[in-house]
Structure 1
Amino acid sequence: MKKTLIIAAFVMACVWNNLSAQSLSTTSYSIGIPTGDLGEYISSASFRGIAFDYRKLVKPNLGVGFYAGWNVFYQEKPYDTYTLRNNAISGKQYRYTNSAPLMFATDYYLKPGNDFNPYIGAAIGGVYTQRATDMGIYRWEEDAFSFGLTPQIGFLYKVSTFSAISIAARYNMAFGAGDLDASQNYVSINLGYVFMGN
């Protein structure tokens, strides 16, 4: 899979060098809402997230590029007896999950040229997930680098010639791999600033 990603990155870089189209660079604050196995481990929403997006407009209504992000999930669990790796331990538990996707992405813009421009998109690539559980002086860690998919829907609202604001909803899916057998999924709401350049 790593070889495929490297080849795809090289091909994409060659294509971009031959394009003179407009580009969109977005920095977003990301709020994460865990679902599935991640939601069972940590039920609290994450207010510690950031995302970066870059799209080159190969057509007025089609952008290709990449998506990178980082969401940190945290939850404090009450004093109880927990089973970890076939051991029963009593105490308070502190749970952490870091999710860092790096993906190739494409967006389809429904109203190119308009100030209000809704879009739909998808990304495909890899996700690094790290999970840690602290109890007293003990820490248990699990991690995985897995295949991921991220469909999204959102809109751009142009505020000047070279800038816009962006609001997007994404469903981040990281399939089971490594120490984590189950998918680590979450919904993210991204509020961003978009720089529009060439």
Structure 2
Amino acid sequence: MKKSLFLAAFVLVCLWNSLSAQSLSTTSYSIGIPTGDLGEYISNASWRGIAFDYRKLVKPNLGVGFYVGWNVFYQEKPYDTYTLRNQSINGKQYRYTNSAPFMFATDYYLKPGNDFNPFLGAAIGGVYTQRATDMGIYRWEQDAFSFGLAPQIGFLYKLSTFSSLSVAAKYNMAFGAGDLDAAQNYLSINLGYVFMGN
């Protein structure tokens, strides 16, 4: 048992040393554009979003790490008759959806070392989605933790030795799970500041 632990610790140290290259930490303002079932529930874009990406460069053109984010979608519906869970109710409806992805991610950089560096990426992991519908004194809530994917395309523009501007488009896919049978997908446009360190 001790030999196995020592060997595992040795491998981790070797891997960490091989990963001791440059890292990219990106904090982004995220604009969400709903599609599919989410777009049918709330058609408005989300102007309330944030994302954080971290990549360790294992090669000059390849980064691995993680992606977390949070987008809040909201729409006020007009006074009408709405049917919810076999009940018809008259009134205005206020609809909310919170989407929070937690994913492992990797990016491939097309022009490492250049001031303008386009990249392609993908992320895989989980997404927590919470949906709420308010009418008068009533609230209906649904939530799900589901499998998710997020392919992305974007570019880095170098501002200085230790910083860059990032612009990226991600298509966040959260597959049906829990109370939400249909996928909850949206396109996010992320405008970020990148700190480059070791």
TM-score range, shorter chain: over 0.9
**Does the 8 A contact of 1:66 with 1:105 survive in 2?**
yes
Percent of counterpart pairs with the same letter? 88
> Please, what is the CA RMSD of the aligned residues?
1.5
- Higher mean displacement: 88-97 or 17-26: 17-26
Structure 1 portions without partners, runs of 5+: 1-10
Q: Give the TM-score of the pair, scaled to structure 2.
A: 0.92
Q: What code does the residue aligned with 1:174 have?
A: A
The aligned counterpart of 1:152 is 152
Alignment deviations for residues 120-179 of structure 1 (CA, whole Å, 9 cap, x no partner)? 000000000000000000000000000000000000000000000000000000000000
* Residues in 2 aligned to 1:126 and 1:13: alpha-carbon distance in whole angstroms: 28
* Residues in 1 aligned to 2:14 and 2:146: alpha-carbon distance in whole angstroms: 26
The aligned counterpart of 2:133 is 133
Alignment deviations for residues 43-76 of structure 1 (CA, whole Å, 9 cap, x no partner)? 0000000000000000000000000000000000
CA spacing shift, 1:145–1:196, aligned 2, 3 Å = same
Q: What code does the residue aligned with 2:101 have?
A: P
How far 1:19 sits from its partner (Å)?
Answer: 2.0
CA spacing shift, 1:41–1:159, aligned 2, 3 Å = same
How far 1:15 sits from its partner (Å)?
Answer: 3.8
The aligned counterpart of 2:70 is 70
**Does the 8 A contact of 1:25 with 1:55 survive in 2?**
yes
Q: Quick check: which has more Rg, 1 or 2? A: 2
SS across alignment from 1:103: strand
Report how many aligned residue pairs link the two structures: 188
The aligned counterpart of 2:8 is none
How far 1:12 sits from its partner (Å)?
Answer: 8.9
SS across alignment from 1:40: helix
Matched, 1:117 2:117: yes
* Residues in 2 aligned to 1:134 and 1:41: alpha-carbon distance in whole angstroms: 13
Matched, 1:90 2:90: yes
**Does the 8 A contact of 1:16 with 1:56 survive in 2?**
no
Q: What code does the residue aligned with 2:30 have?
A: S
CA spacing shift, 1:129–1:112, aligned 2, 3 Å = same
